[in-house]
Amino acid sequence: MKLSHVATDGSVTMVDVSGKSVTSRFARAQALVRMNAAARTAIRDATLAKGDAFVAAQIAGILAAKQTGVLIPLAHPLPLTSVDVGFEWRADGVLAIEASARTDARTGVEMEALMAATIAALTIYDMTKALDRGITIESIRLLEKTGGKT
């Protein structure tokens, strides 16, 4: 199988998408954050010394999606039409972070959705690490991708 970012001489290359059609594209990604009860309570009650973790993580995730083309060396900068970051507490106490991104472009937005979910999770970690040194960020994954050929 040929890798799209590797040239025939073995060097890396940014994929040429000029021949692709502009289509509406969507991607949804998830990251899971596992933390202790004290950290969960502080987030739920908005009593963290650093402020509202959900608001900070939403903003961080959106900003991260907008910077994907700068941070991922071979990613194309995309004109994002929408980025959303949401949170849901699972029954096992794990915080599920879901991020989505939309664009009308020649290439997909899965990296933007993954970046948003990841940076939102890291922001939650940063804001709660004083309450739990054992926080883990787990299972960062693409949940859905639409638009384009594949």
- The pLDDT of residue 19 is 79
Residue 64 pLDDT > 90: yes
Catalytic residue among 16, 45, 52, 126: 126
How do residues 2-19 score in pLDDT, each as one tens digit? 666 666 666 777 777 887
pLDDT digit string, tens, across residues 78-89: 999 999 999 999
Q: Token digits for 99? A: 């991020």
- What are the tens digits of pLDDT across the range 72-118? 999 999 999 999 999 999 999 999 999 999 999 999 899 999 999 99
Instruction: Tell me which residue has tokens 């083309």.
Output: 69
Count of residues for the chain? Answer: 150
User: Phi and psi of 92, rounded to 5°?
Assistant: -85, 5
Distance CA 102, CA 56 (A): 21
Q: E strands, 90-150, where?
A: 95-105, 136-146
Distance of alpha carbon 25 from alpha carbon 81, whole angstroms: 10
Which residues touch 118 (CB under 8 Å, ≥6 apart)?
A: 31, 64, 137, 140
Per-residue pLDDT tens digits for 17-38: 887 889 999 999 999 999 999 9
Q: Which residues contact 103 (CB under 8 A, 6 or more apart)?
A: 24, 25, 78, 79, 80, 81, 109, 112
pLDDT at 78: 95
H helix runs in 8-78, sequence order: 37-44, 53-66, 68-71
In the chain the domains, ranked by start, together with CATH numbers, are 23-146 (3.30.70.640)
Tell me if residue 126 is catalytic.
yes
